[in-house]
Amino acid sequence: MSKKLTIGLFGFGVVGQGLHDIIKTKNLNIEIKKIAIKDATKERSLPASYFTTDKDELLNNPEINTIIELINDTDAAFEIVSTALRSGKNVVSASKKMIALHLEELLKIQEEHGTSLLYEGAVCGSIPIIRNLEEYYDNELLHSICGIFNGSSNYILSKGFLEGMDYATALKQAQDLGFAETDPTMDVGGYDAKFKLTIAAAHAYGVVVEPDAVLNIGIENLAASDIQYAREKGLKIKLVPVAKELDDQHVALFVLPKLVTESEFLYNVEYEYNGVIVQAAFADQQFFFGKGAGGHPTGSAVLSDIAALRYDYQYEYKKLKTNTGLKFTNDIELCVYLRYENDDFVDALDFKEIKERYYSGTYKYIIGKINLSKLIDLRQRIYDEKAFLAFADQLTGVSLVSAN
């Protein structure tokens, strides 16, 4: 028999409303007691008695045993989640940045207070990747995890490749549809995907990595010449986070645009959809596909966590607790495509090997092997130079390898 959950909900935006829409269609022994919001004057779809602007009405209410956190403020989200866990309340959160930045501390709080924090909705919307990494692959050696983790950037790329739309117009359309924020840096700069990747890596490999240590290069500098190059080669460009185990001691994480071949699963993942590829030693390659954003898709993932809490479910972090020395590293070499203007910049990047180089008027590109740590050192210059860089392993057969 499941226990009754009495819920205090923080946030009633797209996901909060989507969650409420779903809950009211089910009979799951769940009751939303109170909803905390910022703006009390905004018109809502529920009676005013449901709402409050005082967080303590939820956190200090003994009748509420479960907190659902769905707000955009990272610092406030951490305060809410940590306070709730310390006070004995279980929590469901969809705040990927907050979880990625504070994961180690949140693990300690759960351990100390015997409470549970679940966050399926924080990574890839409706795709149930965290629970699968935690449970299905708990004893599986995972060679790699990669995919399309951000629907906003993928929408922009799809508009460019499928409809010939330029980057600025596609971005504006994504913003108008609510897929991208007014400041889209989190999405198109690869930060959103990076936060999701570090969370997934904790469950896949048992490593907790500071997001600042992980390279993320986005699609802001994408130009028509890059799309033309990819199209002529039968490729597409996707923004792809990668976590790869190099050996029994090292795992690498990074987020880069990637030149994707027609034979790859990600080639046909378009618009706001996400896709996750898990390469396992025994299960081989498996592909998860679904909507990565939106009120109802993300709300369904949040509801799945809520339903699991009715049976006192907790992440066991099995690989984290049994980690025998696997560590994060940026000391790897990878093959990249670089479209650039300044030859001095190419010299500064110190390519280890050049496979191909091309000059034609104002269009210049180079394909070769480079150390990931060098890209980290020069990532701001890549942006400032208006250069476009993409992971290009499939072009040359060069796989991601340790520099040592």
Residues serving a catalytic function are 196
DSSP structure class, residue 136: I
Provide the 10 A C-beta neighbour count for residue 105: 11
Structure tokens at 392: 């290009």
Structure tokens at 344: 């001095």
b/e map 314-324, b = 16+ CB within 10 Å: ebebebbeeee
Distance separating the N- and C-terminal Cα atoms of the chain: 54
Under 8 Å between Cβ of 19 and 299: yes
Q: Position 380: which residue type?
A: Q
Angstrom CA distances, 91 to 63, 109, 275, stand at 15, 12, 26
DSSP structure class, residue 251: E
Q: How far apart are CA 328 and CA 24, in angstroms?
A: 43
DSSP structure class, residue 316: -
Extract the runs of DSSP E, i.e. beta strands, from 42-166.
Answer: 51-52, 66-69, 90-93, 117-118, 142-148
Q: Which of 30, 29, 36, 24 is nearest to 69 (CA)?
A: 36
Structure tokens at 311: 């049976």
Q: How far apart are CA 242 and CA 175, in angstroms?
A: 26
Which residues neighbour 329 within 8 Å (Cβ) at sequence distance 6 or greater? 246, 250, 251, 252, 402
Under 8 Å between Cβ of 62 and 88: no
Q: Which of 220, 258, 211, 264 is nearest to 238 (CA)?
A: 258
Q: How far apart are CA 37 and CA 41, in angstroms?
A: 10
CA 33 to chain centre: 30
Q: How far apart are CA 23 and CA 28, in angstroms?
A: 8
Which residues neighbour 177 within 8 Å (Cβ) at sequence distance 6 or greater? 155
